[in-house]
Structure 1
Amino acid sequence: MDSSNAGQLERTPSEKADVKSDSSLRLPTPPARSAFKSVLLVLTMTLGMIVNTSGSTSITIALPTIGKEFHLQENELQWLVSAYPLSSGCLLLVFGRVADLYGRKKVFLCGSLFLAVFTLACSFQHDVISLDIIRGIQGIGSAALVPASLGILADAFPPSRARSLAFATFSAGAPLGGVVGTIVGGILTQYTAHVLFLAKTWRAPFYLLTGLTVLCFVGGLMSIDPDVPSCEPDKRIDWLGALSVTAGLVLIVFVLSQGELAPKKWATPYIIALLILGVLLLILFVLWQQYLEKVQNDPNAVHSVLTPPPLIQPSLWKRGEGKLAAMMIIGFVNWASFLAWIVWVQLYYQNYLQLSVIQSVVRFLPMVVSGLLCNTFVGIMAARVPVICLTAIGTGATAGACLLFALINPHASYWAFAFPASVISVMGADFVFSTGTLFIAKVVRSYEQSVAGALFLTMNQLGTALGVATTTVVFNRVDLHRHGRDGIVSYKAAQWACFSFGVLGTLLSLLFFRGVGAAGVREPIDKPETPNANEERSMTYSNQDIKSEK
């Protein structure tokens, strides 16, 4: 390979060893499928992502309506948003590991059915506590469905332009689900009680999401290739690690959300105790994973029933010379910025400006067009545009949307602040998610696709929970001390917190991805490559490297 190629990242000896070990554990090539079945597969996986994201955003547009029905304040609505991504985010790693070991199709189908059942159950709740609980259980189905989708796509499409298009389409489901959940959820929330007489207004979006989830199940039955048994010799799951990381994350997010509501706020004894316990559990998880990986890699170590393979190998964070870890953190802070922005803009429109649900929905319509254009661009240009351009521009655009609302003049025209913010806000979600999934699929081993994708999704989901929790703390603090000033200062303060997350993502992009080429891969134009060449290609980062390999 020509060493003069720009953007080339030399692989370390451990990464070269990864390629060899990858080939020994690589699954058999799936059978050829028709173009129709390939399209149906991509659409089914994309619909699963739309359902996953809509599960978070469709309820945000209905928060004021739910608050009025249950007589709740803004700070009491947070768990309706956070419970779903929290349970989903905490269990993605477990289900990613299960999917890699026991079959991605099985996990996808079971997750679809579970999600459909509990999405429907949400619509029958009559108090906010039971709704919070069911929302948390609902997220378990999403945790099974989404990482399996990533592994299915990675297996079905080898590195090529087809893979770039497939992942870009799938990734479009995240922001598109956010926008569609907002718009369709808003329309149903506004009109179903008056037109269809189904139920109280906020319940109707759950009926729609139930139907879409059932479609995912049917599409999966028709389009997903039969599962191929895993070639890994040890198929045990690290349940101790799964328990520690799940409990730790739940406790920390609980503390962030309840610290302002506790009797003595952050000085409340149980808040302090739960925070310490949560941090200790996460430290224990990291140390335990390091120990398990060391045991698994040492041929002279004594293996026992207590030493299964780690839930996620700590060395996974070092893939791509550590840039995989940087991509994970960028996804975390970007999603914290984007979803928190959506939540506070909804509340600003409906609670501060006193707009109807439909008037609020109309103001989000530019996000639909912008999101579709962004993902079309990524699908076409993923093999040509460097990673740094997509991630830095995306996170910077989302930060810009937050900044516009942090500086907004409530008396100004919609076109002055809100319209440009709606156009650029979705760019971060589109560019970062699409580029991130492509980059991760490119630098990890074939048998790690689901768990690596699950880790990226975990960071995004936890970013959502942390972003909403943190901005709620900021909103409450400012609102408590505004002393008769206009309530707009509280909403602006929350948006400044959202802005800080977006700026951090931009800085990380500029710092870690300089000189890295494109995440996508050009369509081969010559003879099919040998398996070894395919393995080498999957570990290559730049377009120039790909050309030189040809």
Structure 2
Amino acid sequence: MRNSAGGNMAAGAGARPGLTLAAVAVAQFMVSLDLSVVNLGLPQIAAGLGFGAVGLTWVIHAYALAFGGLLLLGGKAADRYGRKRVLLLGLGLFGLASFAGGFAQEPGHLVAARAAQGVGAAALAPAALALLIAAFPAGRARVRAFGVWSAMNAAGGALGVLIGGVLTEYAGWRWVMFVNVPMAAGALALAWRGVAAGPPPSRGGRPDVLGAVLATAGMTLLVFGVVRTDQHAWTSPVTLTTLAVAAALLAAFVQVERTTRREPLVRLGLFANRSVAGANASILLVGAAMASAFYFMSLYLQQVLDTEPALTGLMFLPFALGVVAGSVLAVKLGYRLAPRTLLVFGGLLTAAGFAWFGLISADGAFTTDVLGPSIVASVGFGLCLGPVVSAGSAGVASHEAGTASALLNSSRQIGASLGLAALGTVAHNRTGPAVTPETLNDGYALGLTLSAALLVAAALVALTIPRPAPPQADQAERVGDRRKDVPA
């Protein structure tokens, strides 16, 4: 028996993997839900709190900036101070921020609450995923667990549009904030009872505070610069200066991580792992494509086809169900196929669905322009989610699981913010000054076609991920079979 086995058993003492999976699934659903649940309520939020056209965008960006900018710090905190502790703190902050946001009386109140939600999500998301990796280290149980996680992750994003539309139309926009409170409380109770405390976290090195500040500031400023291109052109002094400062901060972060005598925020050697590097590059492109496609299709249904918010949300239901189906299929195929195979096939299938979306027309309809491509794209997306987590954590030491999971979450969130800003600018330029259903349709169609191109690129990147080595037991069995075949 290996020495590490005893450590693993000790670490898992008192653990209840089923409850751990349930807590992680609810937490991930909630985090993904809040990336999209407010979208259909923005007009009512603007009217209720007096937002201006520019200020309203910060209801979305405040969450995305805090979430994406602080994920690496959250992953490091989970590894250093204990994953269960950081998960519980993150869930508590998320629930309290959601409760406060529901009672917002001014624009600043809601923006602050959304930012606090992002801070809580940045803490709980990497801690939750690291706990899942530790609870299901290998085998069929790991494949099933990642399948459940990926289904809840995708369903949260897809159902967020439906839930947001229904709540906005029938209960009021404040319920898009209040809806998180019972979910946060439920996940907190499950985690409190079902997640083992784990071994005492290592406190050997001093934290790299400077690296944390540089990484957080650099990523936040990068996202800020890109999302502001709806106000300032890409070539404007404001945008160029912001992006230059962000690049300088990130370059300084890399230098600090290479030379610091403290415990680095992220060990750069992780990127020497081809599986980790490939998975992060792939999920960045997938995140960019998916966030953009959700945005364009939501606007197409409401602004071009003139669909009400609740019905628009209902039209996303086939996509949500397709993602769940794809995630279940990924579990069954994951027993026989390597993660990179599923990533390539899923990426190309999703790209085909988005290319089909690119054929939308101003006089189209849900059944002819939306339903078919929704099914194709959603099944492909569901095939990708579990395998990318498996690939992104392959070969990573247990004490860096939180960092690896934070990298995946950060790559997806940063990709979503950058992709939406970039493709949104391209679509806006195609629309031109004459805003009609026809010109809007042309802009959204171009954005969806470019989303398909991003997914093709993600599939190509997935080809760089190495195939996992067979388990030692399988290798020994194969050696034994070969010996049997050798004549005596």
TM-score (norm 1): 0.80
CA distance in 1, matches of 2:95, 2:178: 9
Is the aligned partner of 1:490 residue 2:443?
Answer: yes
1:206-236 Cα shifts (integer Å, max 9, x gaps): 11112111111111111111231134632x2
Aligned residues: 475
In the alignment, what sits opposite 1:117? Answer: 96
Deviation of 1:124 after TM superposition, in Å, equals 2.4
1:381-400 Cα shifts (integer Å, max 9, x gaps): 32311223211122223323
CA distance in 2, matches of 1:120, 1:39: 28
Q: Which among 150, 156, 160 is matched to residue 171 of structure 1?
A: 150
CA distance in 2, matches of 1:259, 1:357: 27
- Is 1:172–1:430's contact at 8 Å kept on the other side of the alignment? yes
Is the aligned partner of 1:406 residue 2:387?
Answer: no
CA distance in 1, matches of 2:55, 2:455: 25
In the alignment, what sits opposite 1:217? Answer: 188
Secondary structure at 1:61 match in 2: helix
- For structure 2, the residue ranges without an aligned partner over 5 or more in a row are 478-488
Secondary structure at 1:444 match in 2: coil
1:190-211 Cα shifts (integer Å, max 9, x gaps): 211xxxxxxxx22212111121
CA distance in 2, matches of 1:549, 1:75: 63
CA distance in 1, matches of 2:303, 2:414: 26
Secondary structure at 2:366 match in 1: coil
Structure with higher RCO (Cα < 8 A, 6+ apart): 1
In the alignment, what sits opposite 2:484? Answer: none
Q: Which among 234, 247, 253 is matched to residue 285 of structure 1?
A: 253
Question: Which aligned pairs between 1:116-135 and structure 2 lie closer than 5 A?
Answer: 116-135=95-114
More divergent stretch after superposition (109-118 vs 270-279) = 270-279
Deviation of 1:487 after TM superposition, in Å, equals 2.6
- Is 1:105–1:220's contact at 8 Å kept on the other side of the alignment? yes
Task: Please tell me the residue identity of whatever aligns with 1:313.
Answer: R
In the alignment, what sits opposite 1:526? Answer: none
**Structure 1 72/482 Cα, relative in aligned 2: closer, same or farther at 3 Å?**
farther
CA distance in 2, matches of 1:69, 1:504: 42
In the alignment, what sits opposite 2:420? Answer: 468
Task: Please tell me the residue identity of whatever aligns with 2:187.
Answer: C
Is the aligned partner of 1:237 residue 2:207?
Answer: yes
Secondary structure at 1:443 match in 2: coil
CA distance in 1, matches of 2:380, 2:414: 17
**Structure 1 139/283 Cα, relative in aligned 2: closer, same or farther at 3 Å?**
same
Task: Please tell me the residue identity of whatever aligns with 1:486.
Answer: T
Deviation of 1:23 after TM superposition, in Å, equals 5.5
Question: Which aligned pairs between 1:416-455 and structure 2 lie closer than 5 A?
Answer: 416-455=368-407
Q: Which among 196, 221, 226 is matched to residue 251 of structure 1?
A: 221
- Is 2:276–2:393's contact at 8 Å kept on the other side of the alignment? no
CA RMSD of aligned residues (A): 2.6
Q: Which among 157, 170, 176 is matched to residue 136 of structure 2?
A: 157
Q: In proportion to residue count, which structure has more helix?
A: 2
- Is 1:89–1:462's contact at 8 Å kept on the other side of the alignment? yes
Secondary structure at 2:335 match in 1: coil
**Structure 1 90/154 Cα, relative in aligned 2: closer, same or farther at 3 Å?**
same
In the alignment, what sits opposite 2:314? Answer: 362
Task: Please tell me the residue identity of whatever aligns with 2:204.
Answer: P
Question: Which aligned pairs between 1:78-157 and structure 2 lie closer than 5 A?
Answer: 78-157=57-136
CA distance in 2, matches of 1:98, 1:462: 20
Secondary structure at 2:439 match in 1: coil
- Is 1:25–1:232's contact at 8 Å kept on the other side of the alignment? no
CA distance in 2, matches of 1:445, 1:351: 49
* Percent of residue pairs bearing the same amino acid type: 24
Task: Please tell me the residue identity of whatever aligns with 1:491.
Answer: Y
Task: Please tell me the residue identity of whatever aligns with 2:156.
Answer: G
CA distance in 2, matches of 1:80, 1:442: 36
In the alignment, what sits opposite 2:262? Answer: 308
Deviation of 1:378 after TM superposition, in Å, equals 2.1
More divergent stretch after superposition (110-119 vs 167-176) = 167-176
